[in-house]
């Protein structure tokens, strides 16, 4: 299966013209014979990519005081907890913030406020913040997220995630794709037998079908 993924990734790269920005490489799955109305059947995985994401990850943290200082020192953007309610009242601005960042962190006391005012925007996007205990340096949690891909089906049989960037080598991209493949099929009762189709593509390039090996 690794070779099939590599072949498709190489074809996707070769078939897409160079852009004026660094494109992501994406992998999509369509599954079959799985009742996604049952929440426990849904795919919800955080996959640590062996070769990293290949491009910077944007992380923001809801924090104040000493924790905010630690987060800032770790290179994270800070969202003042006192602005959460106002942000939640401006749907357009809240969506913009949700799109701006890949991940969110939060001090534990602010989790309820975030859920109340921003849950409707962050939740459906799979971006609810991860709680940071007072004894944990946020840099430790952030460093792990920088190599993490989120694979989330919700109630849809077709879903996708970025497996890396075009700047990475084919071997690195293949390793990442295979890690995602293994995690997704490992969550399915029949493994690859529950995969109807799998495609890879650059952000703006054509989709290339991956030959699925049962």
CATH number for the domain that contains residue 83: 3.40.50.790
pTM as predicted: 0.85
Q: Note whether 160 and 199 are same-domain residues.
A: yes
Answer with the one of 91, 126, 145 that is the final residue of a domain.
145
Q: Note whether 140 and 154 are same-domain residues.
A: no
Query: Please, are residues 170 and 9 in contact by the beta-carbon 8 Å criterion?
Result: yes
Q: Domain range for residue 190?
A: 2-54+149-209
How high is the pLDDT of residue 126? 87
Query: Please, are residues 203 and 26 in contact by the beta-carbon 8 Å criterion?
Result: yes
CATH code where residue 170 lies: 3.30.190.20
Residue 91 lies in a domain: yes
Residue 214 lies in a domain: no
How does pLDDT run along the chain (214 residues), one tens digit per residue? 999 999 999 999 999 988 888 899 999 999 999 999 999 999 999 999 999 999 889 999 999 999 999 999 999 999 999 999 999 999 999 999 999 999 999 999 999 999 999 999 999 888 999 999 999 999 999 988 989 999 999 999 999 999 999 999 999 999 999 999 999 999 999 999 999 999 999 999 999 999 998 8
How high is the pLDDT of residue 55? 87
Q: Note whether 63 and 141 are same-domain residues.
A: yes
Residue 135 lies in a domain: yes
Residue 125 lies in a domain: yes
How high is the pLDDT of residue 214? 81
Q: Note whether 132 and 70 are same-domain residues.
A: yes
How high is the pLDDT of residue 74? 92
Q: Note whether 63 and 134 are same-domain residues.
A: yes
How high is the pLDDT of residue 82? 95
Helix or strand run (H / E) with residue 62: strand 59-62
How high is the pLDDT of residue 166? 94
Q: Note whether 36 and 102 are same-domain residues.
A: no
Residue 131 lies in a domain: yes
Q: Note whether 160 and 127 are same-domain residues.
A: no
Q: Note whether 25 and 80 are same-domain residues.
A: no
Q: How far is CA 57 from the centre of its chain?
A: 10
Convert 93-111 to b/e letters by CB count within 10 Å (16 or more is b): ebeebbeebbbbbbbeebb
How high is the pLDDT of residue 18? 84
Name the β-bridge partners of 27. 161, 200
Q: Note whether 129 and 198 are same-domain residues.
A: no
Residue 155 lies in a domain: yes
Residue 103 lies in a domain: yes
Q: Note whether 82 and 113 are same-domain residues.
A: yes
3-state secondary structure of 202: strand
Total domains, the chain:
2
Q: Note whether 48 and 84 are same-domain residues.
A: no
């Amino acid at each position: 299966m690794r070779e099939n993924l590599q072949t498709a990734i190489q074809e996707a790269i070769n078939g897409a013209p160079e852009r004026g920005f660094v494109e992501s490489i994406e992998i999509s799955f369509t599954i079959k014979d799985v009742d996604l109305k049952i929440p426990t059947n849904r795919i919800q995985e955080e996959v640590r990519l062996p070769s990293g994401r290949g491009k910077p990850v944007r992380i923001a943290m809801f924090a104040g005081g000493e924790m905010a200082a630690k987060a800032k020192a770790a290179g994270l953007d800070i969202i003042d907890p006192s602005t959460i309610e106002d942000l939640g009242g401006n749907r357009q601005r809240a969506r913009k913030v949700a799109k701006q960042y890949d991940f969110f962190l939060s001090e534990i006391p602010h989790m309820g406020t975030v859920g109340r005012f921003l849950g409707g925007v962050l939740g459906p996007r799979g971006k609810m913040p991860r709680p940071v205990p007072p004894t944990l340096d946020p840099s430790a949690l952030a460093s792990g997220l920088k190599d993490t891909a989120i694979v989330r089906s919700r109630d849809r049989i077709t879903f996708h995630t970025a497996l890396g960037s075009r700047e990475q080598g084919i071997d690195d991209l293949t390793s990442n794709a295979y890690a995602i493949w293994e995690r997704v099929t490992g969550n399915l009762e029949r493994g690859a037998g529950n995969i109807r189709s799998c495609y890879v593509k650059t952000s703006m390039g054509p989709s290339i079908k991956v030959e699925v090996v049962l």
